Structure formats: C-alpha cells, structure tokens
Amino acid sequence: MKRIVRVHTEAFRKMAVERMKECANIKALAKELGIHQRLLYRWRDRLESVDDEKKSPSYNRERALRDEANRLKRLLGEKALELDFFKGALQKVEARRRNSKGSGEKASTTKSEK
C-alpha cells in the first residue's frame, strides 16, 4: 500500500495556523482542511519558533518561562504519582504488621515460597 504525500504551500500553512488561532474546534478544522490535527500543531510550533526570533526579548522570556512552567507541572505530576504509590505500599506494610502482631509471629511483609 503506497502512502500519498502531499506538500502544502507556505501560504496554506500560514492560513491554516491563523484559522487555528481563532478556531474552537481544532479537530473539525483539520478535517475541513483534509489534514491531521497534529500537523496543524506542528505547523503552529514551527511558525512560532520562526516568529520568536523576530520578536522582542521579553516575548522570548515569556515563552521560556511558560516552557519551564510546563516542565515543572509535568515533574510535579510524576512526583504526585510516586507519592501515591509509596503511600499505598506503606499502608499495605502497616496493615500486614498489625495483622501479625497479635499472633506472636514475626512481622514480615511477604512470605517466600520454597
């Protein structure tokens, strides 16, 4: 099965990105233009990176800060997941210890099979 590759003009890309800025439903816009929505985002990012070089240093600083904030939010989410995991593991260990205290046995977290 051959894949059809279409080359879009720079004018078409700019028009699509401009419409994307004003559009509420990106998926519908992509369907209307006959392209995948990821391609719209890729074009937007490329055009913004070219425009960033032309814009003021304050705009570049804002973009850098926005990127840093997004990176930190992602890291915070990962740490929250790790914390939830370890809280659950600790609760299981404490529950096993409570259950084994009354029997006079040694407290252990798991039984090994031989």
Please report whether residue 76 resides in a domain.
yes
Does the residue 2 lie in any domain? no
- Domain membership flag for residue 112: no
DSSP per position, 66-108 = HHHHHHHHHHHHHHHHHHHHHHHHHHHHHHHHHHHHTTTSPP-
User: Does residue 106 lie in a domain region?
Assistant: no
107 domain-assigned: no
For the chain, how many structural domains are there in total? 1
Rounded CA-CA distance 24/74 in Å is 25
Query: For the segment 50-73, what is each residue's pLDDT rounded down to a tens digit?
Result: 765 566 677 778 888 999 999 999
Tens of pLDDT, residue by residue over 61-108, are 888 899 999 999 999 999 999 999 999 999 999 999 988 766 555 655
pLDDT band at 45 (very low <50, low <70, confident <90, very high): confident
Contacts of 108 (CB under 8 A, 6+ apart): 96, 100
114 located within any domain: no
CA dihedral sign, ordered 52, 53, 55, 59:
positive
Domain for residue 65, yes or no? yes
